Amino acid sequence: MPDHHHTLPVISIITIVYNNVRDIGYTLSSVAEQSYPHVEYIVIDGASTDGTLGVIQNYASHIDLLVSEKDGGIYDAMNKGLALATGDYVLFLNSGDTLFDANTLHTIVAQGNDADIIYGETKLVDEGRHIVGDRRHKAPAHFDWRSFRYGMNVCHQAIYVKRNIASPYDANYQLSADIDWVIRAAKKAKTTQFVDAVVAKYLVGGMSQKRHRQSLIERYAILKKHYGTLANLFNHLIIAGRLVSYRIKHGKTRE
């Protein structure tokens, strides 16, 4: 278990996984190799049957809490992890995604200024773990609850939120509750800090991309709830214009 008797913050990293034997080892390894010592690692497995648990057991010495049982979906699993976390910050690093390098957590703490929300940039990787580029949305130099009105410009795997402002995910959303979660946390945050560094690698082709239409419908409803009907319509016109411009310049869009 993490040692809370020091001045540096404990970071609770939560990984959820279900039948992902191909990718889970990359995620576990990226946490295990961190040079920053004050980590609480929680793994929530949905009762995998494909060998995932065997890979997890190989990293048992780096895992503080392992839960393996059936759950009600992605956000139910994430809520289980959040309820178990005891650290100062929480980070959700799902199976297949990784911290950028062994010094990522050191960078977050050293440059994070003890802000309520600390965030950085993300690289996209393919199934072969090759970096394929940057996200279409660049992380802003300043972040608040209004920052997502034109799209999720900070990757969920690159956002560290103080646990005392992190409420449970709304499980009514199946694919986009992370957007709602971050906006609600940002409304409570008194300070945010951009770390001008790449802090995560995001595996492209997740569930929200496979069920893209449903994901977009959920996102629209979430942004409407937070920003209002008229403002959301106007903002989506801007989003559409930016997307068209990006495709003209770069071809196929990226998240």
Is 3 inside any structural domain? no
The answer to whether position 233 is within a domain reads no
pLDDT at 243: 61
Q: Would residue 227 count as lying in a domain?
A: no
What DSSP letter does each residue of 116-172 carry, written as one string?
A: SEEEEEEEEE-TT--EEEE-SSPPPSS--TTTTTTS--S-GGGEEEEGGG-PPP-TT
Determine, yes or no, domain membership for 247: no
Residue 112 lies in a domain: yes
Domain-located, residue 250: no
The pLDDT, as a whole number, for residue 214 is 82
Percent of the chain with pLDDT over 90: 63
User: Which pLDDT belongs to residue 164?
Assistant: 97
pLDDT of residue 209 exceeding 70, the answer is no
Question: What is the number of domains present in the chain?
Answer: 1
155 token code pair: 């990757």
Residue 155 sits in a domain whose CATH number is 3.90.550.10
Q: Is residue 228 scored above 90 in pLDDT?
A: no
Residue 242 falls inside a structural domain: no
Q: Which domain holds residue 93?
A: 11-206
Q: Read off the pLDDT of residues 5-60 as tens digits, 9 standing for 90 and up.
A: 678 999 999 999 999 999 999 999 999 999 999 999 999 999 999 999 999 999 99
pLDDT of residue 253: 47
Map tokens 């005392």 to a residue: 164
What confidence tens digit (pLDDT) does each residue in 153-175 have?
888 999 999 999 999 999 888 88
Mean pLDDT of all residues in the chain?
88
Give me the percent of the chain exceeding a pLDDT of 70.
85
User: Given a cut of 80, is residue 72 above it in pLDDT?
Assistant: yes
Residue 143 lies in a domain: yes
**In whole angstroms, what is the distance from residue 169 CA to residue 158 CA?**
17
Is the pLDDT at 3 greater than 70, yes or no? Answer: no
Q: Rounded to two decimals, what is the model's pTM?
A: 0.87
Give the residue carrying structure tokens 């694919």: 175
Cα distances (Å, whole numbers) of residue 27 to 39, 41, 94, 183: 14, 11, 7, 25
Which pLDDT belongs to residue 80?
A: 97
